[in-house]
Amino acid sequence: MILRRLTKHVKDQNWFAVALDFLIVVVGVFIGIQVANWNDARADRGQAADLMTRIVSEATTARSEMSRYIEVHQGISDDAARFALALRDKDSCMAMGNELTILIISIADFPPPRFSLANAEQALNTGSLSLIRSTSIRANIQTMTDEMGFVDRQWQRYIRVKQDANREAQRVAGVSLTGRSEIVVVPMGGYDPGSYELLTPGKICGNTEIIGLAANVAVLQAIYVDYLAQVERALDDYLATLSEETST
């Protein structure tokens, strides 16, 4: 319709009408583009708000899980230090009985972190993090995601050390099943001493090589717990920053 009118006005040399029609077309196109831009911006704001909600939620969960995770690993750290010290005195070590058995078996205890910042990681990997306009928020998300990734990498590094020490300690002590038809499985941090026996406890008590391995495990475990505490504090700061930004 506009094109027919424009053609007619050109034929009639009605230049004012031509200019008016042209202006109508330009304004119409401009308004159409602006409406599309407004809709896109509104959609982006909605997606950004949804992403922030998920990021805050997972960070809150990770902070709660981290506290429990530290408690578990602190207990493991205490046992690792106790085992390293117990081996030094052969007579008292030999007299420990079931306690020694449990300490040897539990050397490899090193549960992995079962929490993550999956939404933040996905936003970084897919580029959707750009939906969040705040540069400080984006920087904090990047930093905290890196920290959580480092926790996982440290776990993978330390678990190999603990497994190697565990295999050697069990070999030297001659850890064996008692022959029961079923092995009693209990929650993390506990073992049924009746399921195991030490065939050669005299070879591990006072053994300087095993003492060295046990001391190394105890040190690594303590370092891991200390690093977890640092990440826990970082999560507190991270959550505070997210909450401050989302409330403004």
Which of 31-40, 172-181, 227-236 shows the highest mean pLDDT? 227-236
Q: Which residue has the higher pLDDT, 33 or 110?
A: 110
184-209 pLDDT per residue, tens? 555 555 677 778 899 999 999 999 99
Give the list of residues 6+ apart from residue 30 with CB closer than 8 angstroms, or none: none
* Three-class secondary structure of residue 4 per DSSP: helix
pLDDT at 17: 58
Tell me the pLDDT band of 148, cut-offs 50, 70 and 90: very high
Q: Is residue 179 part of a domain?
A: yes
Q: Is residue 37 part of a domain?
A: no
Q: Which residue has the higher pLDDT, 54 or 18?
A: 54
pLDDT at 34: 73
Residue 155 tokens, joined: 């776990």
Residue 245 confidence (pLDDT) above 90: no
Q: Is residue 24 part of a domain?
A: no
Would you say 98 and 88 are in contact if contact means Cβ atoms under 8 Å apart? no
- Mean pLDDT, range 1-7, rounded to an integer: 59
Q: Is residue 109 part of a domain?
A: yes
Which residue range(s) make up the domain with 139? Answer: 64-247
Query: What are the b/e assignments for 58-92, b being 16+ CB within 10 Å?
Result: bbeebbeebeebbeebeebbebbbebbebbeeeee
How many domains, in total, are found in the chain?
Answer: 1
Secondary-structure breakdown of the chain: helix, strand, coil percentages, each rounded to the nearest 5: 80, 0, 20
Q: Is residue 20 part of a domain?
A: no
Q: Is residue 35 part of a domain?
A: no
**pTM exceeds 0.95 for this model:** no
Rounded Cα distance between 87 and 93, Å, is 6
Q: Is residue 107 part of a domain?
A: yes
Range with the poorest average pLDDT among 14-18, 132-136, 210-214, 242-246: 14-18
Find the angle CA(73)-CA(55)-CA(126) to the nearest 5 degrees.
110
> What is the percentage of the chain residues whose pLDDT exceeds 90?
62
Q: Is residue 55 part of a domain?
A: no
What is the DSSP annotation of 22-38?
HHHHHHHHHHHHHHHHH
pLDDT at 108: 87
Residue 42 confidence (pLDDT) above 80: no
Q: What are 198's strand-pairing partners?
A: 175
Residue 65 confidence (pLDDT) above 80: yes
pLDDT at 46: 73
Amino acid at 222: A
